[in-house]
Structure 1
């Protein structure tokens, strides 16, 4: 997995362009939001972005497994602790199951279906299967009250090997949080994931949906009652990989917001109203990802004000507006950096995760604004939903190939894409072509080689180019070349909207 040590660094307020953003006139706001030109096959990209999750599966693979070079793995996970933890996803290019990013991946896949599933057509079932692969595992991980199993695998020992998941012989150690060693961040995110997924299955599988929702409520109560960051008690196992740098307050707000949306129970609305300002933390925070949920929570909660007219949540519309204003390129009020080629740039390590998550939030907020006939007020300048959609489209188009290198950062899409991604299973010979075990350290000769990966991890989106639009395509460069589930998850929603918008679905 991509090391996340950079996340504790303070975010700098970055240069904004001298160009000003003109207010949208009424005629523009009434204009159809559909762009006129599709430079990409968003439907193809959507299909591949979901197929990617097949390649990240752990456990016993099903008969309809679409990435066929993968085989069963981790079939005894949890046995050392007398619990069944078989299944779930490997987070990125390694063989560890990290519960924190897996839960966020699940939440974002679910949110993608909740907002845009009606546009997905034939891909909706595939997206639901990707979600269920995660929620089946999260149900196992939360099967014991006041306990969550948050990791399977010793990350430090795993990273000392370069081996296929089918071969892994590193310790499958099990790590948990409980009343004595709390983890409100991972517990809050797990509650959010289960609650969001309950909405996905509400009509198609109400029994499963109810199970997810009941578990979400129980997990959230645990998260709130026993407060603390999980990386306190588990620091040497989860850091620097998935430390909780932003604290746990954002996950408590995020979890409550999803439970309010899933239950409509006034208890959760009251929780948000009572605790929201305390948990909301820094309003200037303009990063949204597996660690920091502040911006996502603001957008999510603002729907209750914009669409359901819950007046007590008015401030969340203002906070959501502030986030949106901070990322408008070329505006005097922008606080975000962009590469010369136009890519939103937040951090060197796995920057594309912020591109996909921000694009999703832009399209989702544009949807809420359209329904409520509102706009974003950026210091007196009104920015309408059409503008937000255009920004999101430009980011997705860059990812798919509209960039200075003319390279798609999605494996298998377009004529040119990364060939040497930082991913063990993709880089080593498959079981079918090389049945003999590849020992722990034997794979490092492949990792450091210039040869292309023999197995195509279809749909994988890598960390992406640097601040100057450069991408060397080196396998050892995990910051730029490693894919991750939480990069793809919000992209599923964005691609669904764009494919529908251009009549491709």
Structure 2
């Protein structure tokens, strides 16, 4: 059995709710040997490279201006057997399956990054690429949402896919497509796709009003579908259960979608939904110290906190304020846990060099998500009408402290760590060369035009000790272990596989951390167009 299938089974088996219990360790500074490295980091370059990664993950017919030239067209018959066009979208990681739930989360986080930091991204000359990365996903979601209560949630089968090591251009594995509908509901994937399309509608509102409207229409239908016909998606798309099961249930996705629809439309009905269902769907009862493609409560709680901070603009009623304050309390628990400012054993562990460490498997996804939420909340505090702070059991901290911790995590990713390794592939002189990725680890179809068979890929490419022939620029790999140790080995998929949802949140972090440009802070008129 091929490694990354076991990886995802094990990874997700660890994601049960009991694993959300966290352990306290002292807050440690980055190793002194890394401070000089941190001072020389180029966030603009990191931003540019992080956006390039998404082009390497594209499925479908690639555009004429495709920059990742070692990739080619793939999955051109997706959906054909089911009589639907499902060509396009993204592969989630180093394999060739299109998993709907993590793909939608990826697009939500890319859209949130642009919604908050569109001005910074534009100042770096990367707005076009950011919008293209989002649209590649939302174009696919439009295709996949074939009827109001039908969404195609996955293409491909993880079990058969993981038995082969093939470039996506050579796939011989199953391209069976799987859907949810009224009789086979899947509230998580319906609501997350609604959130992605609503968030993207915010992004495209000023630059492509018609497309924004189309996205909003789909988002509203999908939210209604996911709410009215409730059910766990992996109970009905069983092939997803071993790879991306929903362990937190669908409550977080429904609240997440409602708050994104409120931000996109200003419709008070969506805020009312988030308030009235806050307790039932655990938005105000769960204090979580993890943010991921599966568990979104921290993101929900921070979005709700923003509404509370803008209460004068939203003209909130007293009962709404009370519930939103409960949301904010839980948001503060998450943020304080990342700062090691909670009491007892309620803080996220750290490695000796200060990296947040949630769990062994693909830990960088949690680091990237935490850095983004810390940066965003820092800006929400700084932008509030009255001076505000984050209140933790061990004291209060201001916006600058939050941003400082976000920066420390991003800097670690970029090489300010004891090993001096950048976990953003292609950035700096030292980065992983043996990323666990079928296409990157095999000769490009343009170099080796002959077909690479299922087992042939293992024999000729997977087991090679040399570095990958193609550099997966912008990918954020799983990262080091709890001792800050990393082994650059294609077979150590725990550390060397990258995922789209690792890179998506850190796009916004790099944008936020860029230095001032020509005396501006990068958040002028362009950003205001993207904010709601």
TM-score surpassing 0.5? yes
Instruction: Please state if 1:457 is matched with 2:472.
Output: yes
Q: Which runs of 5+ in 1 are unaligned?
A: 22-36
Q: Could you say what secondary structure the match of 2:152 adopts?
A: strand
**1:371 and 2:388 matched:** no
- 1:395 partnered with 2:396: no
For 1:444 and 1:241, locate their aligned partners in 2 and report how far apart those are by CA, in whole Å. 21
Aligned to 2:35: none
Task: Provide the alpha-carbon RMSD of the alignment.
Answer: 1.8
What is the deviation of 1:284? Answer: 2.1
Quick one: which of 356, 362, 374 aligns to 1:362? Answer: 374
Q: Return the TM-score normalized by structure 2.
A: 0.89
Is residue 385 from structure 1 mapped to residue 393 from structure 2 by the alignment?
no
Is the 1:329–1:338 contact (alpha carbons within 8 Å) kept by the matching residues of 2?
Answer: no
Name the structure 2 match of 1:352.
364
Q: How does 1:9-88 map to 2 (within 5 A)?
A: 10-11=18-19, 13-17=21-25, 38-88=39-89
Partner of 2:127: 124
TM score, norm. by length of structure 1: 0.94
Give the distance between the partners of 1:87 and 1:270, measured in 2 at CA.
35
Distance 1:153 1:214 in 2: 27
Counterpart position of 2:328: 317
1 CA distance for matches of 2:352 and 2:248?
A: 29
Equivalence for 1:432: 446
Match of 1:485 among 489, 496, 500: 500
Equivalent-residue separation in structure 2 for 1:202 and 1:96 (angstroms): 31
- CA distance change for structure 1 residues 20 and 434 in 2, over 3 Å: closer, same or farther? closer
Alpha-carbon distance between aligned partners in 1 of 2:80 and 2:28, rounded to the nearest angstrom = 60
2:200 counterpart residue number: 197
The alpha-carbon deviation at position 17 of structure 1 amounts to 4.0
For 1:325-380, what per-residue CA distance to the aligned partner results, in whole angstroms no more than 9, with x for missing partners?
Answer: 11113764651100011110011111100000110000000111111121111126
CA distance in 2, matches of 1:137, 1:452: 33
**Could you tell which deviates more after superposition, 290-299 or 302-311?**
302-311
Change in CA separation of 1:331 and 1:298 when aligned onto 2, cut-off 3 Å: closer
Distance 1:97 1:502, change over 3 A: same
- Residues 412/437 of structure 1: CA separation in 2 closer, same or farther (3 Å cut): same
47-56 or 239-248, which deviates more: 239-248
Residues 77, 172 of structure 1: 8 Å contact kept: yes
Structure-2 separation of matches of 1:184 and 1:114: 25
Tell me, yes or no, if the aligned pair for 1:188 and 1:252 is still in contact at 8 Å: yes
- Is contact 1:18-1:332 (8 Å) kept? no
20 and 337 in structure 1: CA distance in 2 versus 1, 3 angstrom threshold: closer
Q: Secondary structure at the match of 2:279?
A: helix
Distance 1:140 1:324 in 2: 37
SS of corresponding position for 1:108: helix
Whether the 8 Å CA contact 2:342–2:392 is kept in 1: the answer is no
Q: Does 1:138 align with 2:171?
A: no
Match of 2:99 in 1: 98
Q: 1:500 to 1:356 in 2, by over 3 A?
A: same
Which of 454, 459, 466 is residue 481 of structure 2 equivalent to?
466
Contact kept? 1:104, 1:290, Cα under 8 Å = yes
Aligned to 1:297: 300
Residue 280 of structure 1 and its aligned partner are, at CA, apart by 2.3
Partner Cα distance (1:352, 1:20) in 2: 18
Shift, 1:5, TM fit:
2.9
Alpha-carbon shift at residue 155 of structure 1 (Å)? 1.3
Question: C-alpha separation between the residues in 2 aligned to 1:11 and 1:220?
Answer: 29
The answer to whether the aligner puts 1:159 opposite 2:170 as a matched pair is: no
Q: Classify the secondary structure of the residue corresponding to 2:311.
A: coil
Aligned length: 489
Work out which of the residue numbers 220, 232, 236 in structure 1 matches 2:235: 232
